Amino acid sequence: MTESYVCPTCERVEERSYRVRFIILTCPDCGENGRFIHTSFVDRLEEIPESEHPEGWADMTLDERLLYAVREGLLQIDITGPM
């Protein structure tokens, strides 16, 4: 079984045989180095109502959205437990 991780810049999906919150690598498509986010977090970001989005949300990379959502309390991540 593999887990899917999404490029924060171009949203290319990479598959890995392990499950972590994110992986850092250079994207083979866009060439950006960044935090590929586990698809479960991408799904949770999509559930945040538009009324909670800051100005420029659509222009933010996925990792910027994730950091914003956690900082603003829109998304809770338990760093002590399993994903």
CA distance 49 to 13: 24
What's the pLDDT at 17? Answer: 96
If you average pLDDT over every residue of the chain, what do you get?
A: 92
> Residue length, the chain?
83
Range of the domain at 65: 3-71
What's the pLDDT at 82? Answer: 57
For 41-70, write each residue's pLDDT tens digit.
Answer: 999 999 999 999 999 999 999 999 999 999
- Domain assignment of residue 83, yes or no: no
Number of separate domains in the chain: 1
- Domain assignment of residue 49, yes or no: yes
Global pTM exceeds 0.75: yes
What's the pLDDT at 31? Answer: 97
- Domain assignment of residue 37, yes or no: yes
3-class SS of residue 16: strand
22 vs 78, more confident:
22
39-78: b (≥16 Cβ within 10 Å) or e: eebbebbeebeeeebeeeeeebbbbebbebbeeeebbeee
